[in-house]
Chains A and B, each alone.
Chain A
Amino acid sequence: MNRSIDLKVQSLFMSPAALVAAGIILPPLCYVLITSFQGDTGPLSAYKLIVESSLFRQTLATTLGVASISSVLSLILGYIVALHLARQHPNRRTVLMVLILLPFWTSILVKCFAFTIILGRHGIINNLLSWASGFDVQLPLVLNRVGLFVGMTNFLVPLVVLPVLASLLAIDSTLYRAASVMGAKPARMFWTVTVPLSVPGVVAGLLSVFVMSLGAFVIPALLGGPQDQMLSNLVDFYNRQVLDWPKASAISVILLALASIFIVPMALWRRRKI
């Protein structure tokens, strides 16, 4: 409605939020930005040293690789689940949603702890394999790339399921009836109706999952090995071990810039949908 807004009432409703925005949310970003330019030898020295270090380059590559692969893995698994949920009767779907929402609401620490138990050298998987094969199997499944991918995917799947499910449920079910009356087999229906019409959910899910995984911190720290540390862990390393805040800030700025490349289209995509 474009009736003239009562400014007094508006300030009453918006001022607490404005205060939080200006007093809590924006300053940290400013501090990171300012600190990143306070290197020992000139404003850009921290960036220069970071970009030249092989540790950073290697971590950047790891971050991009892990984020891409785990996003795609979680998309595949998430799509399977969303498809299954979309085909259930609404009442049954509500019950099954608990299976998605419970992991979604569960602390990431609980999951990491559980995976160290499940994937450890004497963990559930290795015990099962030993019991089945008769040998003492001790596959290295955690504190390496495998553990990292398992943890990341597990964390990301619910984030994919929700948007994909929403777009699957938005498909008019008469389309399926029409397609099958016209003689389409299930596989053709899937590729010609379901997949194209779920694209909005897939794009939204993929973008948000990718942005989430770029900033992963806890999972690489607890389930990955020393070679699997990501940019967030490098920030923590410079902040806590090296006590070099300009470098920690410079990496943060780079990470934020990297994420923004995907945040901006994500925001636009959301607006478009609305």
Chain B
Amino acid sequence: MHGRNASNGEAIALRGISKAFGSVTVLKDTELTVNKSEFLTLLGPSGSGKTTLLNLISGAIAPSSGEILLAGRDITRMPPRERGIGMVFQNYALMPHMTVFENVAYPLRARREPSEAIRRKVLDALDRVGLNGFDDRKPRQLSGGQQQRVGIARCIVYSPAIIMMDEPLGALDKNLREQMQTEIKRLHHELGTTIIYVTHDQEEALNMSDRICLMKNGEIAQLGTPDELYFRPNSRFVAEFIGESNLLPGKSIAANSVAIDEAEAVIAPSSERGLGSDVLVMVRPEKMHICAPDADPPAGHNVLRGVVEAISFIGGMTRITVKTAHGVSVTAKIISGPACTRPELGSAAKLSWSPTESVVLNG
């Protein structure tokens, strides 16, 4: 999958797009290019501007400045119906008075296609989403998952250049959501359509996307592959929003070393920040190793000592929080074992991690 986003042309490009409602700016000057056949996720907390971005592309709202290019063509002022974009809504937005067949046929009828072509395409689309034989039902006779399949079929049936999905799985329960994620990925693979997907669920974004565009306060915080966002976050916000993270405050004291709490120096990848500047060393909890105070950590590891402050057993993983002598809490996430294998609350412990597993961020 990840090889497919290589430059086979741009599907949509936003050039200096911004949006303000009165004096409130909901989207600051934004540049964004989505490649053909790419699965791009707009991720962010509510109010971050991801839905605004989606609405601008669909034409639900007009931008305050900038232009939108669809396959190189300026569509900034084009009415939604001429853009040839498909959309899947969180609440499905199926016509309750129409059957499944009529719902899926709607875009084709609007395009005045001949009825036998409509029939063939609709049945094919329903087949693709696994809804064979449901064509006579009304939407309210279907489950949430089935309704959203109709919503997807209604999009793929007219082969739009881009399909946008606005939290399409938001109304479904967890198990169904995971199953539908797999199906949407499969459809994307089969059809090769460009998909712009909006969600606030980071796991969903990591699982499905070629690239993730993480938004914050009307700006792009970071744009990159799931790997880049997870392993190379560019800011504290990204590190905290995606996955769990330990953020150790410190001062840069040499090209590749950071003093944490002005006490213990740790080795960190070299940063371009000036000596003496405040930085944060980010380490993912699952990259933290924990061992007894008298054991030796792997060679070359950074080491912190402290006292076990909290233990939470959360199923497959166990989270152990250690408080260092200088009052910094650090969490390690280890694969769970029976209670006897865990350190005891209040006992001394040693934490260690490989310098390559840490990222230096601005403090």
* A4 contacts the other chain (CB 8 A): yes
Contacts of B77 in A (CB 8 A): 4
Is B249 on the interface with A (CB-CB < 8 A)? no
Among residues of B, the one whose C-beta sits closest to the C-beta of A6 is B79
Of residues 1 through 28 on chain A, the ones whose CB sits less than 8 Å from some CB of chain B are 1-4, 6
Q: Does B62 contact A (CB under 8 A)?
A: yes
Dominant secondary structure at the A interface: loop
Which residue of chain A has its CB nearest to the CB of B64? A2
Q: Smallest Cβ distance from A95 to chain B, in angstroms?
A: 26
CA distance A274 to B288 in the complex (A): 54
B61, A2: Cβ atoms closer than 8 Å: yes
Question: Which bracket fits the contact residues of B?
Answer: under 10
Among A1, A3, A4, A6, chain B packs the most CB atoms within 10 A around the CB of A3
Which chain B residues border A4 with CB–CB below 8 Å?
62, 77
What mask results when residues 33 to 69 of chain B are scored 1 for a CB within 8 Å of chain A, else 0?
A: 0000000000000000000000000011110000000
Most buried by B among A2, A4, A6: A2
Cα distance A4–B76 in the bound complex, in angstroms: 11
A1–B51 Cα distance when bound, in Å, is 14
B77 to chain A, nearest CB (A): 7
For chain A, give the interface size range.
Answer: under 10
Question: Least Cβ distance of B19 to chain A in Å?
Answer: 10
For A2, the chain B residues whose CB sits under 8 A away are: 21, 61-62
On chain A, the residues within 8 Å of B61 by CB distance are: 1-3
Once the chains bind, are B60 and A1 in contact (CB under 8 Å)?
A: yes
What distance in Å separates the Cβ of A225 from its nearest Cβ neighbour in chain B? 56
- Give the distance in Å from the alpha carbon of A1 to the alpha carbon of B56 in the complex: 11
Bound complex: CA of A147 vs CA of B313, how far in Å? Answer: 78
Which A residues touch B62, using CB under 8 A? 2-4
Residue of B nearest to A3 (CB): B62
Cα A4 to Cα B59 with chains together (Å):
10
Which residues of B have CB within 8 Å of A1? 60-61
A6–B62 alpha-carbon span in the complex (Å): 13
Interface string of B57-91 (1 = CB under 8 A from A): 00111100000000000000101000000000000
CB distance from B59 to the nearest CB of A (A): 7
Chain B residue nearest to A4 in the complex (CB): B62
Q: Give the distance in Å from the alpha carbon of A6 to the alpha carbon of B78 in the complex.
A: 11
Set of chain B residues within 8 Å of A3, measured between Cβ atoms: 59-62
Nearest-Cβ distance from residue A155 to partner chain B, whole angstroms:
39
**Chain A contacts to B: CB under 8 angstroms:** 1-4, 6
9 new A-B contacts, CB < 8 A, other than A2-B61, A3-B60, A4-B62, are A1-B60, A1-B61, A2-B21, A2-B62, A3-B59, A3-B61, A3-B62, A4-B77, A6-B79
- Listed from nearest, the 10 A-B pairs whose CB atoms lie closest are A3-B62, A3-B61, A4-B62, A1-B61, A1-B60, A2-B61, A3-B60, A3-B59, A2-B62, A4-B77
- Can you give 9 A-B contacts (C-beta < 8 A)? A1-B60, A1-B61, A2-B61, A3-B60, A3-B61, A3-B62, A4-B62, A4-B77, A6-B79
